[in-house]
């Protein structure tokens, strides 16, 4: 594997990890609405700036598609769905790229 392939694989993997971290904090924020455990509130407090930024981004995207005003929980649920789809696509590209550059044993 060459240098370009290693850099490309590392960047895709880094983006997938960032999506996982963002998904974790969004999920912790959504769960903290229902359950008020101390450890869940701690994760919610840590990820609050990131979740608020992502909520604003999701609100902007959804407002471009429709004029319907959604609650914060609905926006974050849609955002979590978007993150899952993006992660699925990136994981597919990652696996396809890795399989295309590694030699197959016969």
pLDDT, tens only, 32-46 = 988 888 988 999 899
**Angle subtended by helix axes 3-34 and 38-65, to nearest 10:** 110
- pLDDT tens readout for residues 74-88: 888 888 999 999 999
Q: Please name the residues in contact with 57: beta carbons below 8 A apart, sequence gap of 6 or more.
A: 79
R_g (Cα) of the chain, nearest Å: 18
| Number of neighbouring beta carbons within 10 Å of residue 33 | 11
Give the mean pLDDT of the chain: 86
pLDDT band at 60 (very low <50, low <70, confident <90, very high): confident
The model carries a pTM of 0.81
pLDDT > 60? residue 92: yes
């Amino acid at each position: 594997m060459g240098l370009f392939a290693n850099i490309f694989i590392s960047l895709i993997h880094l983006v997938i990890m960032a999506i996982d971290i963002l998904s974790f904090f969004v999920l912790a924020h959504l769960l903290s609405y229902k359950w008020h455990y101390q450890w869940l509130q701690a994760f919610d407090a840590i990820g609050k700036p990131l979740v608020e930024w992502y909520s604003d981004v999701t609100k902007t995207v959804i407002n471009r598609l429709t004029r319907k005003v959604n609650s914060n929980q609905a926006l974050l649920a849609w955002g979590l769905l978007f993150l899952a789809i993006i992660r699925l696509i990136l994981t597919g590209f990652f696996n396809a790229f890795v399989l295309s550059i590694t030699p197959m044993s016969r």
